[in-house]
């Protein structure tokens, strides 16, 4: 098991990911699971058609739509807990900022297959994707709430461009589709209590199956321009901030937002 922050940082730099097994105890996961399941049930009720036909994730879990202030505070406390912050600080030592949360589950529609991608491909054309992976990193901290098949990643692709096979599959060109196997893929099965940290811009895919329900916390480096991705409703209120032991992630986000508005 990797523990030391220099080791974590080296691993992230070289591979684009690391996993810490059994990092969170059963009590932590069980209280998190309760709140997240409440969000998930309400979200499914409100998004029946989308859920049935195409969804594989939701977002804005810390927002006010489905959870009470007490439940949201539990999430903020978890996100800013010492365990989570130790890992965040190891990878982004200067001013890490909170972006959002996402919840990943199995698609209902059996036609949907687990697909390879880089997150940046949905916002940038090819040339800018090449630049973005060199310039900035968005971190996903995946907290599985149940045992799951986990993720498959191509180590090192957080810092390097695709080879021909990877490009053809990810972009679905030259007869390839995005759920074709890619040689060099590393599968990372996860259990409730594990923590997987990975670069959103590396080539990766979630593996569908079992009862997966994974909370992903998205963190970015304040030096990068991701302010438009932040929804104010997902940030803690002032009174919540005053109760959080280590509110740096949220303070950095709020500072970026206020500078952007000035």
Instruction: Enumerate the β-bridge partners of residue 142.
Output: 196, 216
Q: Is 220 in the site for ligand AKG (CB under 6 A)?
A: no
Residues 25, 26, 29: CA angle, nearest 5 degrees? 90
Q: Is 206 in the site for ligand AKG (CB under 6 A)?
A: yes
Q: Is 139 in the site for ligand AKG (CB under 6 A)?
A: no
Cβ-proximal residue to ligand AKG, closest one: 206
- The least CB distance from residue 234 to ligand AKG, in Å, is 17
Q: Is 119 in the site for ligand AKG (CB under 6 A)?
A: yes
- The contacts of residue 121 (CB under 8 Å, 6+ apart) are 129, 170, 171
Q: Is 216 in the site for ligand AKG (CB under 6 A)?
A: yes
- The least CB distance from residue 112 to ligand AKG, in Å, is 10
DSSP 3-state of 218: strand
Tokens of 33: 């699971």
Q: Is 140 in the site for ligand AKG (CB under 6 A)?
A: yes
CA 113 → CA 4, 74, 204, 205, 241, distances in Å? Answer: 36, 33, 13, 10, 40
The residue length of the chain stands at 262
Q: Is 20 in the site for ligand AKG (CB under 6 A)?
A: no
Residues 76, 122, 120: CA angle, nearest 5 degrees? 65
- The least CB distance from residue 119 to ligand AKG, in Å, is 5
Q: Is 147 in the site for ligand AKG (CB under 6 A)?
A: no
Complex with ligand AKG: residue 60 or 240, whichever CB lies closer: 60
Q: Which residues bind ligand AKG (CB under 6 A)?
A: 56, 104, 119, 140, 200, 204, 206, 216
């Amino acid at each position: 098991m990797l523990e030391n922050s220099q080791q974590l940082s080296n691993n992230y730099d070289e591979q684009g990911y690391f996993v810490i097994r059994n990092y969170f105890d059963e009590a932590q996961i069980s209280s998190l699971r309760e709140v997240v399941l409440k969000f998930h049930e309400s979200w499914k009720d409100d998004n029946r058609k989308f859920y049935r036909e195409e969804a594989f994730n939701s977002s804005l879990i810390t927002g006010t739509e489905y959870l009470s202030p007490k439940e949201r505070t539990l999430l903020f406390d978890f996100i800013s807990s010492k365990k989570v912050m130790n890992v965040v600080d190891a990878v982004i030592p200067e001013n890490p900022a909170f972006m959002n949360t996402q919840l990943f589950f199995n698609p209902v529609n059996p036609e949907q297959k687990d697909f390879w991608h880089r997150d940046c491909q949905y916002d940038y054309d090819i040339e800018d994707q090449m630049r973005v992976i060199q310039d900035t990193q968005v971190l996903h901290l995946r907290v599985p709430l149940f045992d799951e098949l986990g993720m498959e990643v191509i180590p090192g692709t957080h810092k390097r461009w695709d080879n021909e096979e990877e490009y053809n599959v990810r972009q679905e060109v030259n007869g390839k589709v995005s759920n074709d196997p890619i040689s060099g893929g590393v599968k990372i099965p996860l259990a409730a209590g594990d923590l997987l940290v990975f670069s959103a811009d590396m080539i990766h895919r979630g593996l569908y199956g079992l009862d997966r329900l994974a909370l992903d916390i998205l963190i970015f480096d304040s030096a990068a321009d991701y302010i438009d991705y932040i929804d104010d409703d997902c940030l803690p209120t002032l009174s919540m901030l005053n109760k959080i032991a280590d509110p740096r992630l949220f303070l950095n986000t709020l500072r970026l937002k206020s500078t952007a508005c000035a």
